[in-house]
Amino acid sequence: MSAPETKTAVYSTVDGLDIALDYTLPTGASPEKKAPILIWFHGGGLLQGTRKGIWPHLRNAPAKHGLCLVSADYRLAPQTRLPGIMADLVAVMKFLRSPDFAALTGDSVDQGKIVVSGGSAGGWLALLIGSGVGFEACGLDAPEKPLGIAPIYPISDLLDPFWTTKQHPVSYFPRIIDRSELEAYLDPRAAPTSFSTLDSPRSVFYHYMVQEGILQDLLLEGTGIDPKEFSIAPAIASGKATVPPTYITHGSIDDKVPIRQSEDVVEACKAKNLPVIFDPIEGADHLFDMSDKYTMDKMYDFIDSLVTK
């Protein structure tokens, strides 16, 4: 049996820009046997990365789990601040539910069964979509809630000191990164981009951000929006936000996104009796699921439990 084919499509932002996404239908999907949709957002602090950087368990998801995998780009900061990125989330979720996407897939996807996942900053995007947090502050209507969310080692709160405290040097990086290496990417007036290859000079942007403690500035400078507007756990704890069924996993020794970013969300969900599964991975670091050692069976069992209802 041949491997499922990955195709590229575009969705349009609110200001008319076209951004690419890849989608892979499982073999055998049809109008009579529609595939649920798993949309995944890449990480990189919203500063770098590409939809092409997907790991083995994701590539296997169509054939192994019968899911239509969608990997979507979004515009990157600081050329696009967080409100613009949030607008991209609204646009891509609307596109997945549109007649245009149904037509592209031969009416072979179940647009009522969408699960949102992502790694690191992409996990944060999944949390924002699932909870609706942050959209009102950006002047946007939150997208329709998905069936469930599955954030992987997510960022969840810009107010954590990890994002605001300088590290010279960064604990996990072998050298100080000089500003000159990233000067072109730090310029908010540079041309907007939604694609950064994994081997480009921009690939150290995340580490530079941690080194300088400037994530808030890169995402929000000039917007007038308080960083607390994007904090997931406080919004849940206050009753201002809820989440659909949620699965969160995080490595216990993650030094790129502290595990407390996940633990705080899980604690808030449990306090509000919201459906959450927490799966900490002992001895695992950030990006642990890049290895084909991690088949992420518990995550896919969770997804299967939602889409087969």
**Domain CATH code at residue 138:** 3.40.50.1820
Domain contains 156? yes
Query: Residue 202: is its pLDDT beyond 90?
Result: yes
Q: How much is the pLDDT for 2?
A: 64
- At residue 123, what is the residue type? G
Phi and psi at residue 96, in whole multiples of 5°?
-65, -25
What mean pLDDT is reported for the chain? 97
How much is the pTM? 0.98
Under a CB-based contact definition with an 8 Å cutoff, are residues 205 and 45 in contact?
yes
Radius of gyration of the chain, Cα coordinates, nearest whole angstrom = 18
Q: How much is the pLDDT for 16?
A: 87
Provide long-range contacts, Cβ within 8 A and 24+ apart, for 189-195: 189/79, 190/79, 191/79, 192/17, 192/75, 192/76, 192/79, 192/80, 193/75, 193/76, 193/79, 194/19, 194/20, 194/73, 194/74, 194/75, 194/76, 194/88, 195/20, 195/50, 195/51, 195/73
To the nearest whole percent, how much of the chain has pLDDT over 90?
96
Average pLDDT rounded to a whole number, residues 44-70: 97
Domain contains 131? yes
Label residue 67 by pLDDT band (50, 70, 90): very high
Average pLDDT rounded to a whole number, residues 42-55: 97
Average pLDDT rounded to a whole number, residues 183-195: 96
Average pLDDT rounded to a whole number, residues 294-302: 98
Label residue 92 by pLDDT band (50, 70, 90): very high
CA atoms lying within 13 Å on the CB side of residue 130: 35
pLDDT digits (tens, 9 = 90+) for 116-139: 999 999 999 999 999 999 999 999
Quote the distance between the C-alpha of residue 104 and its chain's center: 23
**At 39, which helix (H) or strand (E)?**
strand 35-41
Is the backbone of residue 153 left (phi > 0), alpha (psi -120 to 50) or beta?
left
Q: How many angstroms separate the CA atoms of 161 and 286, rounded?
A: 18
Under a CB-based contact definition with an 8 Å cutoff, are residues 103 and 25 in contact?
no
Domain contains 1? no
Under a CB-based contact definition with an 8 Å cutoff, are residues 211 and 168 in contact?
yes
Q: Which two tokens mark 183? A: 């000067």
The CA distances from residue 86 to 76, 190, 208, 256, in Å, are 11, 20, 23, 23
Structural domains in the chain (count): 1
Under a CB-based contact definition with an 8 Å cutoff, are residues 209 and 218 in contact?
yes
Domain with 201 in it: 6-307
